[in-house]
Amino acid sequence: MKNNVIILCFDLDYTLIDNTEGIRNSFNYALKKYNLPEINFEKVRKLIGAPLDQIFDTISPSNTPNLIIAFREYYSSKGISQVKILPGIEKKLVELKKFNFILGVITSKKEELAIKLLKNLKIAHYFDFIFGETDARKTKTSPELMTQLYQKYPNCRFVVIGDHPNDRFLAEMLECPFIGVLTGNHSKEELKLGAKTRTLILNDVSEITADKIISLF
């Protein structure tokens, strides 16, 4: 039987942070390093939030492993500081904590990088967990992630919050509601298309309220 504890699972890029500059520069660095032509960033913007191998497979499949290494090389040293918190985020995190929601982050970034980034932004302490890519978890919809969440929070209720269809897929995997936000590169229609779970679309995280969360159950 489910208890009354609600776990809010936030995506990172374009849900909590604006990462455009760091990601763009990391892409350009990787492509330049392997003498590949610079691409129009708009062509990959909508893919952000997906695993890097999926993104680079659309650019240069034969170079994907090397491009990922180069991307992370730049991002971990420079791109990580080219990030800003989206407006109203910290205020909303404080508010949600007061309502006794458990807050966590689930991202496609390398886990250690996500932790470092959130610490740099001084908001890591709001989150009870930060899950990213590890050797055991390659994507945010890995079965290992679901197992880990259920073991850590048995009989709890979950809500996934994000800007990307992959975040809704995670909600469907967890059989929980999804709150989509329009601060990323996907429209309301794209976030709702084919939804198999209860879905609420808001302009941004600042519009989330305790009443809206509870109404999803």
What residue spans in the chain does CATH classification 1.10.150.240 cover? 20-81
CA 148/CA 138 separation, integer angstroms: 14
Domain 6-18+84-214 -> CATH class? alpha beta
CA 112/CA 146 separation, integer angstroms: 19
What residue spans in the chain does CATH classification 3.40.50.1000 cover? 6-18+84-214
- Going from the C-alpha of 84 to that of each of 18, 20, 22, 80, the distances in angstroms are 5, 9, 10, 10
Q: What is the DSSP string of 142-183?
A: -HHHHHHHHHHSTT-EEEEEESSHHHHHHHHHHT--EEEETT
Domain covering 20-81, topology: DNA polymerase; domain 1 (1.10.150)
Per-residue pLDDT of the chain (217 residues; tens, 9 = 90+): 577 899 999 999 999 999 889 988 998 999 999 999 888 888 777 777 778 888 889 888 888 999 999 999 999 899 899 999 999 999 999 999 999 999 999 998 889 999 999 999 999 999 999 999 888 887 888 888 889 999 999 999 999 999 999 999 999 999 999 999 999 989 999 999 999 999 999 999 999 999 999 999 9
